[in-house]
Amino acid sequence: GAGVSQSPRYKVAKRGQDVALRCDPISGHVSLFWYQQALGQGPEFLTYFQNEAQLDKSGLPSDRFFAERPEGSVSTLKIQRTQQEDSAVYLCASSSALAGTDTQYFGPGTRLTVL
Amino acid sequence: DAKTTQPTSMDCAEGRAANLPCNHSTISGNEYVYWYRQIHSQGPQYIIHGLKNNETNEMASLIITEDRKSSTLILPHATLRDTAVYYCIVRHKAAGNKLTFGGGTRVLVKP
């Protein structure tokens, strides 16, 4: 079946612009995660949803970052007033959350470049 | 979640087995060892996970020491397409638990 998809794959924004990044998880997956990966670093956790509920947003770096998953499937990560330090690859992962099967599957990521 | 220590980089020859070590000396009894890899410009890919028994799947084998303080990921016949950064992660097995990535091991498979 289809894996996790993300769009756009690449986004260039001018400093101060707002951006919206989309994640389509694997169909039926209850859990959805967002990670941020700076160049040359491992991914870092941003936020976690179980269905439509955002249960953990401890990794969001500032109040300019906002994520939503209103119907418990597609999720959007929004960054307001982008700064150069927001340049990174944003990864989305989903998992089924069934007992014993919590493996997270990742999408290809969105590479955000803020000029 | 327990911290892991991996070598920064390693080379291996195409067709040979690649053995990737990971130390996790502070692992607790109910924490699992997970391995992911990330090929250039792609998202991380799940490889394998285990608790205390050795595990094998179509991609790799995972050998966990009896005291669970270290483990080794074995790629039995490395190919050029196995060139990637390999991450060893220790975490509790629950749906909402995030993955905490370290620096990983950059593996270069050479012809």
Q: What percentage of chain A has pLDDT greater than the value 90? A: 89
What residues have CB less than 8 Å from A62, skipping those under 6 apart? none
Highest mean pLDDT among A70-79, A99-108, B27-36: A70-79
Q: Is the Cβ pair A50, B103 closer than 8 Å?
A: no
Q: Is the Cβ pair B95, A30 closer than 8 Å?
A: yes
Q: Is the Cβ pair A42, B97 closer than 8 Å?
A: no
Q: Is the pLDDT of residue A100 over 60?
A: no
Q: Is the pLDDT of residue B93 over 80?
A: no
Q: Helix, strand, coil % (nearest 5) of chain A?
A: 5, 50, 50
Q: Is the Cβ–Cβ distance between A100 and A106 less than 8 Å?
A: no
Q: Greater confidence, A86 or B2?
A: A86
State the average pLDDT over residues A41-48: 94
* Residue (of A28, A41, A48) closest to A93 by Cα position: A48
Q: What is the pLDDT of residue B53?
A: 87
State the average pLDDT over residues A56-75: 96
Q: What is the pLDDT of residue B1?
A: 65
Q: Is the Cβ–Cβ distance between B60 and B76 less than 8 Å?
A: yes
pLDDT band for position A52 (50/70/90)?
Answer: very high
Q: Is the pLDDT of residue A1 over 70?
A: no
Q: Please, what is the average pLDDT of chain A? A: 93
B50 Cβ under 8 Å from any chain A Cβ = no
Count of beta carbons in the 10 Å neighbourhood of residue B57: 11
Q: Is the Cβ–Cβ distance between A89 and A44 less than 8 Å?
A: no
Q: What is the pLDDT of residues B36-57, one digit of tens each?
A: 999 999 999 999 999 998 999 9
Count of beta carbons in the 10 Å neighbourhood of residue B54: 12
A48 Cβ under 8 Å from any chain B Cβ = yes
Q: Is the Cβ pair A4, B43 closer than 8 Å?
A: yes
Peptide bond preceding A8 in cis form (omega within 30 of 0)? yes
B96 Cβ under 8 Å from any chain A Cβ = yes
State the average pLDDT over residues B87-111: 89
Across the interface, of A45, A102, A107, the residue whose CB is closest to B43 is A107
Q: What is the pLDDT of residues A3-36, one digit of tens each?
A: 999 999 999 999 999 999 999 999 999 999 999 9
Q: Please, what is the average pLDDT of chain B? A: 93
Q: Is the pLDDT of residue B22 over 70?
A: yes
Smallest CA–CA distance, residue A20 to chain B, in Å, is 19
